[in-house]
Amino acid sequence: MISISFHKRISAATALKIEEFCRTQDNIGLHQVLAFTDAMEPQKTIEYCIAENGINEITGFCIIHTKFPIAFIQDGPIISNDEILLEMVSAIQKYYRNKFFAFTTIQFPYSNTTLPKVSNNKSLSKQFDLPTWSTIIVELKDSENLLKVFSKGHHSAIKKAEKSGIIISNDFTNQTIKEFSNLFDETYRTRHLKTLWENTETYFVKLSEFIHSKNGFFIGAYLDNKLVAGGLFLQVGNTVHYKYGTSNHELRSIPLMHTVIYNAMLQAKNLGFTQFDLGGINIDAAEGSQVHAINTFKKGFGGNITTSPDRIYLTNNRITLAIVLLLLKLKKLIRK
């Protein structure tokens, strides 16, 4: 018999049980790793769903990020067998129905092959347009063979960066965090983008705690003793994930991020990891857009595109959902 419970907080003992369970699973996404919980969705509230068998062994686990009236699940639930998945999804839908949430959206892990048959409200995908997660996975090899899977342009770009006098370092001191945060904010300002957090330096200080706990690493590119590019990389299982990167926009003649990511792959290989996740791509990006340019950049490192199953939308509370849809219609009318 399976019991399913929901928690706003978990004890250290429960966290240890969850981590032991997750170590038995392959390819767990960053959104389902306890160590990174607060960092993945800084503006959302966190809840935990745990499935246990009759002898209190964990058989399923899920981190849920919520922002009323919507519950978001990315890369979950993590399960020991397919039967538990349907039970967990049903329990999640009921739980948020009772809390008057409009709907729950679930992006199942790409490692899932058998998906539960649930009532998927496909019309919501048109209203909210949340993308299905895709990424590029590169199999890590030694430096010579790794370069062989890169495009000719990327191969040349890395050589160009090396000849320009770029120095690579993985030190992540308080001063480096400050410099990296300033670079990141400047990139977002020039691209007219908004961060998911209020203060970039405070957020990266929090991420640095994971890195100093050996859950990741930083790669910085320096020119004349000044940080001109850098990337944050997080470690899960046998995979290193590219999470954040930025470079000095005034040095566009030097392919900075090419050499940052290349050196991150070498570092991951030296640490014993076998896969490198390039941090997601949007396969539906319009040609000529910023996102399409980022896709092209990432594809130049070779690897294979992996796409998660289609995102599903579970109707929770129909009254709340009707109110949300009405407000969306009113918002569109006002804009006109």
Mark whether 247 and 266 lie in a shared domain.
yes
Mark whether 168 and 283 lie in a shared domain.
yes
**pTM listed for this prediction:** 0.90
Mark whether 303 and 313 lie in a shared domain.
no
Most confident of 16-25, 34-43, 99-108: 99-108
- Closest of 161, 277, 163, 183 to residue 229, by C-alpha: 183
pLDDT given at position 336: 62
Mark whether 147 and 106 lie in a shared domain.
no
pLDDT given at position 1: 82
We report the CATH number of the domain holding residue 8 as 3.40.630
Q: Which residue has the higher pLDDT, 9 or 26?
A: 9
Q: Which of 25-39, 95-109, 144-158, 215-229 shows the lowest mean pLDDT across its residues?
A: 25-39
Q: Which residue has the higher pLDDT, 264 or 26?
A: 264
We report the CATH number of the domain holding residue 160 as 3.40.630.30
**Residue 48 to residue 61: CA distance in whole angstroms:** 7
In which domain, by residue range, is 34 found?
A: 3-130+309-335
Token output for 99: 């809390």
Averaged pLDDT for residues 87-116: 88
Mark whether 173 and 246 lie in a shared domain.
yes
Token output for 256: 């900075």
pLDDT given at position 167: 96
Mark whether 114 and 181 lie in a shared domain.
no
Mark whether 157 and 142 lie in a shared domain.
yes
- Closest of 258, 214, 222 to residue 240, by C-alpha: 214
The mean predicted confidence, pLDDT, of the chain is 91
Mark whether 29 and 113 lie in a shared domain.
yes
pLDDT band with cut points at 50, 70 and 90 for residue 112:
low
CA dihedral (283, 285, 286, 289) in degrees, to 10, reads -130
Mark whether 235 and 314 lie in a shared domain.
no
The total of structural domains in the chain comes to 2
Mark whether 268 and 297 lie in a shared domain.
yes
pLDDT tens digits, one per residue of 54-84: 999 999 999 999 999 999 999 999 999 888 9
pLDDT given at position 141: 84
Residue 88 reports pLDDT greater than 60: yes
pLDDT tens digits, one per residue of 130-176: 878 899 999 998 878 888 899 999 999 999 999 999 999 999 999 99
Burial category of 90 from C-beta neighbours within 10 Å (exposed 0-12, middle 13-18, buried 19 and up): middle
pLDDT band with cut points at 50, 70 and 90 for residue 113:
low
pLDDT tens digits, one per residue of 241-281: 999 999 999 998 999 999 999 999 999 999 999 999 999 99
Averaged pLDDT for residues 108-112: 73
Residue 229 reports pLDDT greater than 60: yes
pLDDT given at position 114: 65
Mark whether 247 and 219 lie in a shared domain.
yes
